[in-house]
Homo-oligomer: A and B are copies of this chain.
Amino acid sequence: MKQLEERILRDGKVLPGGILKVDGFLNHRIDPQLLYDMAAELKRLYAGEEINKILTIEASGIAIAALVGYVFGCPLLFAKKSKTSNISDALWSAEVKSFTHGNTNTVVVAKEYLGPGDRVLIVDDFLAHGEALAGLKALCEQAGATVVGAGIAIEKAFQGGGDRLRAAGLRIESLAKIAAMSDESLTFCE
């Protein structure tokens, strides 16, 4: 998506360690018109798929998912990071490793809000090693829900998570796909 690529080039900052900072428009200060346009593009890409639920993870996926839900006309559900390992019977749960923070979170959703009738689009701001996306997919599988695919704002393709999950059969549409990144340059996939 040209508009997102241009915004990344204009306002994104590359930091050491393969980190791309986009907190000026995507995950701290947020441009809602850009999110709307991204949601409309996902709607076009997933036309005819009869998606009836958007699933994301707190906190930085929520704003995108809210606009995606609005454009798709269906509810969104966000997985919460659980503070306790004492997971109740009323919750689906999965482990999500964070490469950025070097820890593992348990993420949960209420069982009553995700089930076999759901055709789910998983939405997130970033896809890098794919841990969050794999965790959200696992929640859907536990619930018996159908994962139609994923809609990602920015995929760091060079970190391999997207290709690994595609090879396992998951449809992933990333609106900006970064092939390589260094202090001097950032190049998108063809």
Tell me whether A120 is interfacial, beta carbon within 8 Å: no
**Chain B binder among A59-67, A134-142, A156-164, A174-182:** A59-67
Candidates B23, B29, B62, B109; contact of A59 at CB < 8 Å: B62
Copies of this chain, whole number: 2
B59 contacts A76, C-beta separation under 8 Å: no
Q: Which of A33, A67, A80 has the most CB of B within 10 A?
A: A67
Tell me whether A30 is interfacial, beta carbon within 8 Å: yes
Contacts of A23 in B (CB 8 A): 110, 113
Candidates B28, B78, B110; contact of A77 at CB < 8 Å: B28
A59 contacts B75, C-beta separation under 8 Å: no
A114–B29 Cα distance when bound, in Å, is 9
Per-residue CB contact flags for chain A residues 36-58 toward chain B (1 = under 8 Å, else 0) read 10000000000000000000001
Contacts of A35 in B (CB 8 A): 66, 70
23 contacts between A and B (CB under 8 A): A24-B113, A28-B78, A28-B80, A28-B113, A29-B76, A29-B77, A30-B66, A30-B77, A32-B66, A32-B74, A32-B75, A33-B70, A35-B66, A36-B70, A58-B58, A58-B59, A59-B59, A59-B62, A59-B78, A62-B62, A62-B63, A63-B65, A70-B70
The 10 closest A-B pairs by CB, nearest first: A32-B69, A32-B70, A66-B66, A63-B66, A58-B59, A62-B62, A29-B113, A59-B59, A29-B77, A30-B76
